[in-house]
Amino acid sequence: MKYIDEFNDPDLARRLLDEIHATATRPWALMEVCGGQTHAIIRHGIDQLLPDKVELIHGPGCPVCVTPLEVIDKALEIAARPEVIFCSFGDMLRVPGTGRDLFRVKGEGGDVRVVYSPLDALDLARKNPDRQVVFFAIGFETTAPANAMAVHQARRTGLDNFSLLVSHVRVPPAIEAIMTAPQCRVQGFLAAGHVCSVMGTAEYPELADRHHVPIVVTGFEPLDILEGIRRAVHQLERGEHRVENAYPRAVREQGNPAALRMLEEVFEVADRNWRGIGRIPASGWRLADAFRDYDAEHRFDVTGIRTEEPAVCRAGEVLQGLIKPTECEAFGTACTPRTPLGATMVSSEGACAAYYLYRRMTDGPAQQGSRIPREELNTIG
């Protein structure tokens, strides 16, 4: 399959690894921002194939995981209302709120439906004019244009029984928050290619210059990730801090102009809370005033929400890259995909889910001591 098989070539992977091993002379810590990249890294054992000097830190790039608990609880409250058809992507249904999740609401009689696009929810609103249809609009810059388009179409066609519960977040402010945290160890970033395919790379050079970190835009296949690591390590060894695009088959500097125009019309930048992290200035979007009537929080006036995270769950530290999932005492015991304490265990992009799925159960903080020999590269491809 074009653009997939050719980026899983074991021989090319070995050559990239050889170059990374030959280049790294000092310890370097890189953060992959995207949860999809985290899953690829753990699935293929890429972190264990790297030299001991190169550490990969898992970042907060899982949109499901960083959706604030108070927004999850608002979703549960709205979804339980008899007049509502609540629509969501499937990976949100098991995300724990305070005491329950959307599956529980559905089991208790709420009309909760899995859809594959906000336009599916829009179609439900057309077919059910006597019901309020709410779409749970979460995600990074990647999913925001489609959600903006759904609201734009609802207003254009006069559809007044459709609304969004918005919890969109933006990557560059998250990088800023990571780099200014006192406990930060990150020296370079692998930026998410799908985000940059929408937004372009214009926001990243200032971050790279201000914090003296290389930022390499990277894809999601093994060779994409290894090439991103290779470029970042080369920059670090040379004392450079530039933005590089290692994903040119999908990313252009200017991004997607049509998507950017739609985002600018429908949304406005706002401060956002990130689950497990806290409030990050200008790190999200909300509906602009012209589209406020389609804001589910405004329409349903959900108030009095009291949130409470499980005390034993350390998902917030995982999201900040402070610990690996296996360093949480609840990982794999009290917290599993069937009995999740945090969103990082149930999301398809969560770091805890990746470690559990690919049986990375005991690595703990000292992963360098249990590396996979490079001759076992037949696991790639």
Whether the Cβ atoms of residue 295 and residue 164 lie closer than 8 Å to each other: yes
Cα separation, 95 vs 317, whole angstroms? 17
The whole-number average pLDDT for the span 223-250 is 97
The pLDDT of residue 84 is 98
Confidence category of residue 363, pLDDT binned at 50, 70, 90: low
Which of 157, 167, 155, 168 has its CA nearest to residue 292? 155
Single-letter residue type at 369: G
Q: How far is CA 186 from the centre of its chain?
A: 18
Which of 319, 200, 20, 144 has its CA nearest to residue 215? 200
pLDDT at residue 259 greater than cutoff 90: yes
What is residue 347's DSSP assignment? S
The pLDDT of residue 2 is 64
Q: For 176-185, 228-237, 310-319, 367-376, which range has the lowest pLDDT when averaged over its residues?
A: 367-376
Q: Quote the mean pLDDT of the chain.
A: 91
Show Cβ contacts of residue 288 under 8 Å, excluding neighbours closer than 6 positions. 265, 266, 267, 268
The pLDDT of residue 305 is 78
Whether the Cβ atoms of residue 233 and residue 20 lie closer than 8 Å to each other: yes
The pLDDT of residue 303 is 74
Which of 259, 77, 75 has its CA nearest to residue 164? 75
The pLDDT of residue 368 is 38
Q: What is the three-class DSSP state of 163?
A: strand
pLDDT, tens digit (0-9, with 9 covering 90-100), for 183-214: 999 999 999 999 999 999 999 999 999 999 99
Show Cβ contacts of residue 148 under 8 Å, excluding neighbours closer than 6 positions. 262, 263, 265, 266, 267
pLDDT, tens digit (0-9, with 9 covering 90-100), for 101-131: 999 999 999 999 999 999 999 999 999 999 9
The whole-number average pLDDT for the span 22-46 is 95
Cα separation, 339 vs 362, whole angstroms? 19
The whole-number average pLDDT for the span 87-97 is 93
| Residue predicted with more confidence, 63 or 28 | 28
pLDDT, tens digit (0-9, with 9 covering 90-100), for 124-149: 999 999 999 999 999 999 999 999 99
% of residues, the chain, pLDDT over 70: 94
Confidence category of residue 181, pLDDT binned at 50, 70, 90: very high
Token duo for residue 81:
């209302």
The whole-number average pLDDT for the span 346-360 is 92
Helix H segments across 61-110? 63-66, 69-79, 102-107
pLDDT at residue 318 greater than cutoff 60: yes
Please name the residue that has the structure tokens 């029984």.
161
Show Cβ contacts of residue 119 under 8 Å, excluding neighbours closer than 6 positions. 146, 149, 150, 153
| Residue predicted with more confidence, 307 or 195 | 195
pLDDT, tens digit (0-9, with 9 covering 90-100), for 157-180: 999 999 999 999 999 999 999 999
Token duo for residue 202:
């214009």
Q: What is the three-class DSSP state of 107?
A: helix
Largest CA-CA distance found in the chain, in angstroms, rounded: 66
The pLDDT of residue 367 is 41
The whole-number average pLDDT for the span 294-315 is 87
